[in-house]
Structure 1
Amino acid sequence: MPDTEFAISADAGAERHDRWREALADAFGPFEVHHGKPAQFAGHVRYARRASLQFNDLHYQGQRLERTAGNVSRLDQEFYTFGLPLSGPLAVVQQGREFQVEPGCVYLMNQSLPYQATALGAAGYRSLSVSFPRSALSQRDSRIGAFHKLRIDDGSPRGAMLASYMDHLFKGMDGWSDGEVAELGERLIDLIALFMVQDGQAQASASDSSVTLAHRQRALAYMRQHLADPDLSPQRVADGCGLSVAYLHRILRAGGTSAEAFIFEERLERCRELLLNPLHRHRSIAELAYQAGFSHPSHFSRLFKRRFGMTPRDWRARS
């Protein structure tokens, strides 16, 4: 399995510290690295990209990692990490919330928001994790929080199944074909959505039945498939899915979104990807906006800057 590995120890010089930060940035996007006690500073990261997934083995101590708002603006896309801690704890602060992850749990975290993570304990923090685009989860359920945690040491069959799946997935990594990794990764994300995202939405109301969930997922999939249609509207989505407009609004609202908000968000994400794709460098920003379904380039530019903190032109200049 092709992979990348980098390690650093307490006696490393400044140049090695810079390379450690670069290794983390290549694996997870840009970070600021704040040193603790020099004698405790150490780190090791190994990661491999397969299909649309990235498999990580990260171990560090004597340092605090920080993703600032500036770091976030340089990420190529929003992504989540599903992790299985092997040592810890790790203290995390994100969006004003403080929480810890440690052995005995699995967690799901949005890596595309500012946060700070401090490795605690004599052994530091180590986890096995899988990173994947936000869209891989949102197509299953749009109600994704920034952080979810599930115990695996309290007899919960959900946590135990997720932990066991992760363990077997990593142990067999060298033997899986790319096609098998892609399929197994899809099943892992299915389980994460089922056991963590959906189960974490206050156990969903009784009206949010399996039929309702199926209709909502079908509506979300329809909108993704027809983003390029500038006339895509709730009425068109409802007609395409065989639903009434009122029912469409109700099931999307129960999932924490609306047709209009979902369409705009997905179009902006698609434009962000197109702007960084070298195959589209010869095309104008307006042309890419039209391709994603926006009718007015100026409106698109305002939405893009509000969403990502920079203009489409500045975003493209990063590639």
Structure 2
Amino acid sequence: MDTGYATVDVDTSLVSAADRIDYWSVHSRMNQGDMRLGFASPQQFAGTMRVQRGAGFQLVDATADAVDYIRTRRQALCDEYGTALLIISHGADIVISHRDNEIGVPCGRLGLLDMGRPLSVSIPAGTRVWAVGVPGEYVPRDTFRDDTPRLLGAERGSTAAVLALSRTISDHSGSLSGHEFAEISARSMELLNLALHTSSRAEQSQSAALAHTARSYIAERSSDPRLTPDSVAVHLGCSRRKLEYSLRSIGASAPARLIADTRAERAYRRLTDTQENASISEIAYASGFDALSTFHRSFARRFGRSPTEVRRRQQRSP
């Protein structure tokens, strides 16, 4: 799967002093959406950042002189940056706010902002910051019900794990594959959701209903080789991540695994049917597999033996 993973390095020392604040501002807006930046010392400003993004996830690792990032109501309404922004400090306290509701984010804690509201982020000089984009499906609807940013501590296992996974992404920047970046980011967001959210019964019911609909649709269409996790999500009118989250909420496998297992089970039923005369390869393709190697691998993983072994055992049975 092509995640579009890419890294971008920004270093103000590579441009003239006169261009540095514009250079920093352009990249900041590319990362976090439209906003106004205020610089304490614009003539002497210096900063570096490394951006990793792919599969709808993004982590910005930045260290710079003092900057205020301000997002107005108009910018929040007109911009499609995303749902939330996670701020993690590795130095002095960072001050974040929604309008007049202001909180401090000490070193090692997590601050969460709603990108759909007016907000500000004030970062002292020399403070290293991770800014993580949070897609909407990981943010419970009532997270910002009192119009106040959220502050999360590392005393909970889920938030400590978010910190650890964010550090992994940052430390291994440049050596991660796109798939690794996407998978680690997704796990981090799921843990953030866990820290934020105790699901209501209604929300649990909605996720379960979506998951059961997905399972039924996969069972019905699994013989079609064009069936993929993305096509299932499109049919159900949800994102792929929402589909994965809903299936996980009922203890089901991820979509790709569920499709492969359903196809393998379809093939198993035919291989153990004493009236079945089709060859193994014919059964594989008829079950929805587009390659024999994929069929044999999926079948062995699901049943612990090869299709040939299953058929021979059935033929030996009285």
CA contact (8 A) 1:42 1:62 kept: no
- CA gap of 1:226–1:30, structure 2 versus 1, over 3 A, is same
- CA gap of 1:2–1:161, structure 2 versus 1, over 3 A, is closer
Taking structure 1 as the reference length, the TM-score comes to 0.56
In structure 1, what is the equivalent of residue 108 of structure 2?
104
Deviation of the 1:19 alpha carbon: 1.9
Q: Aligned equivalents of 2:175 and 2:24: distance in 1?
A: 29
Q: Of the candidates 197, 215, 236, which is equivalent to residue 205 of structure 2?
A: 215
In structure 2, what is the equivalent of residue 129 of structure 1?
131
In structure 2, what is the equivalent of residue 142 of structure 1?
141
* Identity value in percent: 19
Deviation of the 1:194 alpha carbon: 0.5
Q: Aligned equivalents of 2:171 and 2:93: distance in 1?
A: 23
CA contact (8 A) 1:81 1:111 kept: yes
DSSP 3-state at the match of 1:87: coil
In structure 1, what is the equivalent of residue 162 of structure 2?
162
Q: Which amino acid aligns with 1:151?
A: G
Q: Which amino acid aligns with 1:167?
A: R
CA contact (8 A) 1:24 1:45 kept: no
CA contact (8 A) 2:59 2:133 kept: yes
CA contact (8 A) 1:93 1:117 kept: yes
Deviation of the 1:144 alpha carbon: 2.8
Q: Aligned equivalents of 1:23 and 1:173: distance in 2?
A: 18
Structure 2 residue runs of 5 or longer lacking an equivalent are 214-232, 239-318
Deviation of the 1:226 alpha carbon: 5.2
CA contact (8 A) 2:52 2:173 kept: no
Q: Which amino acid aligns with 2:207?
A: Q
Q: Which amino acid aligns with 1:217?
A: S
Q: Aligned equivalents of 1:109 and 1:160: distance in 2?
A: 19
In structure 2, what is the equivalent of residue 78 of structure 1?
82
CA contact (8 A) 1:38 1:62 kept: no
DSSP 3-state at the match of 1:30: coil
Matched, 1:90 2:80: no
In structure 1, what is the equivalent of residue 46 of structure 2?
42
| Runs of 4+ that moved beyond 6 A | none
In structure 2, what is the equivalent of residue 179 of structure 1?
179
- CA gap of 1:16–1:61, structure 2 versus 1, over 3 A, is closer
Q: Aligned equivalents of 2:181 and 2:46: distance in 1?
A: 31
Deviation of the 1:78 alpha carbon: 2.7
Q: Which amino acid aligns with 1:144?
A: T
CA contact (8 A) 1:41 1:63 kept: no
Q: Mean Cα displacement is larger for which, 15-24 or 170-179?
A: 170-179
Q: Which amino acid aligns with 2:100?
A: G
Per-residue deviation, residues 263-310 of structure 1 (Å, max 9, x unmatched): xxxxxxxxxxxxxxxxxxxxxxxxxxxxxxxxxxxxxxxxxxxxxxxx
What is the aligned residue count? 210
Deviation of the 1:12 alpha carbon: 5.6
Per-residue deviation, residues 66-112 of structure 1 (Å, max 9, x unmatched): 11223324423433222331122111221320111121212222233
Q: Of the candidates 52, 55, 77, which is equivalent to residue 51 of structure 1?
A: 55
- CA gap of 1:36–1:174, structure 2 versus 1, over 3 A, is closer
Deviation of the 1:227 alpha carbon: 5.5
In structure 2, what is the equivalent of residue 194 of structure 1?
194
Q: Aligned equivalents of 2:111 and 2:97: distance in 1?
A: 14
Q: Which amino acid aligns with 1:184?
A: I
Deviation of the 1:174 alpha carbon: 3.5
Q: Mean Cα displacement is larger for which, 30-39 or 45-54?
A: 30-39
DSSP 3-state at the match of 2:88: strand
Q: Aligned equivalents of 2:78 and 2:63: distance in 1?
A: 24
CA RMSD of aligned residues (A): 3.2
